[in-house]
Structure 1
Amino acid sequence: MEQPALLSIIRTETTYRFRLDLPGGPLGQEYSTDLTAEVRERLRRSLQAIGQTTEVKRSGTRVGPTQDALLTLGRYLFETILPAPLQESIRRVETALIMSTNTPDIPWELMYDNSPKSKRYLCQALSVGRIVHQERETMQQRFAPLERPGRKINGRRDAQGLSVLFLVNPTNERPGAEEEVATLCTSLPESVTRIILYRQQANQLQMRVRIGADTPHVLHYAGPLPQTNGTGEPTLALAGNSRLDTNVFEQLLQGLPKHPLVFLSYHEDERGGRSI
C-alpha cells in the first residue's frame, strides 16, 4: 500500500508551523507564518462567514455558506497562511495526504489553489485525512526526557553505543505498553540512544525516516498481539490501518549494514506477554 504524505500544521502563540514529509524521503523543512493581528482578524472573519447560515423564510430551511465564502477562506488559507514553498510542494503531491494539526477549528482541507492548472480545493485534488496533534504533543512532552540523541556523522547517528527504536501502542488501545516503555527507558544506561515512535507516529513513513537516519540496533515493538494475513503470515499492527509484515519489514531495512534485533512485547487486555 502506498504511503501517504504527512503535512504537520502546529499553532503556537505567535506562529503557524508547517512541515511536509513525503513518503520515501527525509524529514521536510519546517516553515512558519507569523500570527499577526491582521492575520488573526482576517482568519476570524473568514471562519465566521463559513459558520453563518442564511434562513430561507419561505421554506423554513437553512442553507450552508455561499461558494464565495468558501473560496475566500480557501484561498486565504492556501495563498496567505500556507508558506509559498509548501504551496508548490503540495501541488506535486501524488499520494494521499494526512494532516497532523492541533487546530481542529480550521478546515485546512478547504485550502484552494487558484493557479490556472488547479483551481480546486485540496480535498478535491487529493485524498485527505486528519489526525489530532494535541495528544501527540502531550506524549512528546512525556517521552522527550527519555530520548537520548546520538552524535550524527554524515547524516546518520554515530554507530558507537546501542540504539533502540521503540514502536509504542500504535493502535492507541494499549496504554500499558506506554507505561512499560516509559519505565524501561528510564532504567536504560545513558549510553543507549532511545528513538521513540508512539501512537500515530508508529507508521511506515516515520519508521522509514528514523531507520534511515538512526540505524537502530534493536527494534522494540510494544503493542497488540499479531494477526495473520490471507497467507497465514503474522503481521503487526501499525498506526492507522497499516501493517508490518515480512515484505514491508524488508523494504524498511534496505540499505542497513545489519538487520536489528526485533523484540516483541505483546499486550492484550492490559496483560503483557513478551516474546523475543
Structure 2
Amino acid sequence: MCWRCSSRRPVGLSGGGACRLPWRSSERAAAETTSTRGEDAVRGMRADARGRQRGTSRSDRSIGEVRAVQKPVLLEISHVEDTYRFRLEQPEPGAAVRQYATPPISRADQQSLQQAVEQAARSPLSPFSLEELGRLMYNLLLPPEIQAFLRDLDAPLLISTDAPEIPWELFYEEASKQFVGLKCAVGRRLVTDAAVTSRADAAAQAPPAFLLIGNPQGDLDGADREIELLSELAARCGGSVRTLLGSRAGLLPVQLALQSEQSYLCIHYAGHADYDRASRQHALLLAERTRLTADSIRKLLRGQPFVFLNACGTDQPSQSGRRAAISWQIAEGLAAAFIAGGARAVIATRWEVDDQRSAGFATHFYEAALLGVPIGEALRRARVQCREEQSDDSTWAAFVLYGDPCLSLVDPSIFTADGELRRARFSPSLMAALDLLPQEAQQTGYDFVATPHLFVVLAQIEGGCTQDALQRLGRPPLEVCQQLRHDIRRGRPAASAPRLAKASLSERVRRILQAASEEAVAASAALIEERHLLEGFLREADGPTVASLRRQGIDPERLRAILHGEPEPAGSPVAVAPASESEERGELSFASDAQQALTFALQEACRAGASVIETSHLVIGLTKVPGGCTAGALA
C-alpha cells in the first residue's frame, strides 16, 4: 500500500537507485533535503574504539575519536506487492551498489506483521514484546545478505523507504542480541509530497539561540520540567533561550517566534499534536486550543534549525503519567512540514511515551548533541540510557530521527575558524588557569606555549586533581613546578607573551587540548574540566615534560592510576623523552634506526635498574642496531 496515496502500485528501483514513483521535482528535493543540507559544513564523530577495548558492549560505547563522517550508509527499502526490495549504497567512493529482495511474503505473514506494528503504536510493550517484534521483522523482511550487513554494521545508517509505517530501527539482530537502533546511529530520509522552501543558508548564530515551546494545554507535568532542564542546558553552552510555556505558548506568539529574524539552532516542542479535520492538516496544539498547522510551519519557519517534537496525541485516552500516542502519519507529516520549511532534521515520537521519561530522554539527547556529538549518535545514546534507567518501558523506542544521523548541531573543535580558543568549551576554573599560559611561557623565555607550561598551570589550580595527585605521590606541587621551569628555562624572559591561540601552541599542546575535548565528550560533560585536560596530557608518552617528571621520580602511569582511582602500578619502564624545542613543536622525528637505538638504550637502562637513560646505555643501544654505523665502525 502506498502510504502517500492509499493505492497499491508497483514500486521498483531504477538504475540510478531512485524509487520509480510519480515524484514531482519539488517532492524529490524534499526527499533528498535531509541528507544533503549541511554536509559540507558539518563534521561527524564516530564511536571511540576505547569502549570496546575496556570490555564494554557497543551500546555502552562512548565518543572519543574525532573522525570526518561525510555520509552515512544509505539503505533504500521499497515495498512491491508481496516483497521488499533493498538497495545498499556505501559512502566510500567507487563502492559497488548492491540490491537484494525478500522472497514473496504470504498474506498471513503480512497481516501478522501489521498487527504487531499496530500493537507497538497502540500501547507500551515489554522489552520481550519489542524483541519479538524486532525478530519478526528481521526474519520476515530481510534477505540473508541484509541480515549479514546489519550484523557487521559499524557506521551510521540512513534509511529511505516508501514503507514508513514499519519501525525499521527496531530490527532485532540475533547474533548480537541487539536492536539496530541501539547498535548504531540511524536516521530516515523522508519521502514526501511537500515542496521545499528555498532559502539561503542561515548565518552562524553566536551565541546559539533556542526556541522552547512547552505544555501549551497545561496538562503535561513532565513537559514543564522538560523545558526547565533544557533551558539550563542551553544556558550552560552559552546559548540564548526564548521560552514559551503554558498559556504563553499561544498561536500568535509561536508564529512570531518562528518568523523572527533570529536564527534558531534548535526548536523544541513538548505538547500535543493531532490531525486537524477542519483544515485537513497535521498540527501542533497550542494554548487556548489553537493549532499551528503544517502549512503555517512551512510558510513561517526561518533559518535551518534542528527540531525536536516531543509530541503526544489528544484524541485517545492515555494512562496516568503517560503521553498518548500519535500516529506515524502525524509524526511524518509534521516532520515533513518543518523540513520543507528549512529545518535540517527532526526528531519525533511514533507511539505512546511516559511523561517523565520522555522528558529525561530529551535531556539525555541534548546533553550529548550540544557537545558536538552527531545527532544520530546522540539519539542512540539517549535510547541506551533511557532503556537502562527503565528496562520495562518502551519510551526509548518511540523516538525517530528524520534526517542525516551524521549531522552535528555544534562544532566540537576547540578552536574557531580563525584559530582562537573556544573559551566557552572550558570550565571557568580551568579557563582561568589557561589564561596564565602566555605569562608562563614568556617568563621561561618562550614565544610559544609548550607542554611544561601547561602542566605548571594545571599544578597551580588550588584543590585541583593535579595538585591532589602530586601530593599523594609525596611531591609538593610548588617544587615540581619550580623544577619544570628550571629544566626548560632559556635565560632571559621573552620580549612579549604569546597569544593564547592555535598558532602560538606547540603541536603537543594542541593534541592535548583536543584529547581533553574528546575525554569530556566521552564523559558526557558539558564543559572541559581540569581532569579531562590532565587525562589528555597523560596520553602523551614522551616529551620534555614527561622527561622532567620522571627525573623527579614521578611516574605518569601512577598519576593516571590516581586520577582514575585505580590501584597504582608497581612500576613502569623509563620512557624515552626527546626534549628539544623543535621536537616539542612536532617539526622533527627520529629515523627508524635511531628509534631502535633509543629502544635498546631504554631496555638497557631498565635492565640496570636506572631511573634515567645515561650515555652508557645509549652507546650500548647504538651498538645493537642491526647494520648500524656504530656497530660497523666497531667491527
Given the two structures, how large is their TM-score scaled by the length of structure 2? Answer: 0.20
Given the two structures, how large is their TM-score scaled by the length of structure 1? Answer: 0.44
Normalized per residue, the structure richer in helix is 2
Q: Could you say which structure has the greater relative contact order, defined with CA pairs below 8 angstroms and 6 or more residues apart?
A: 1
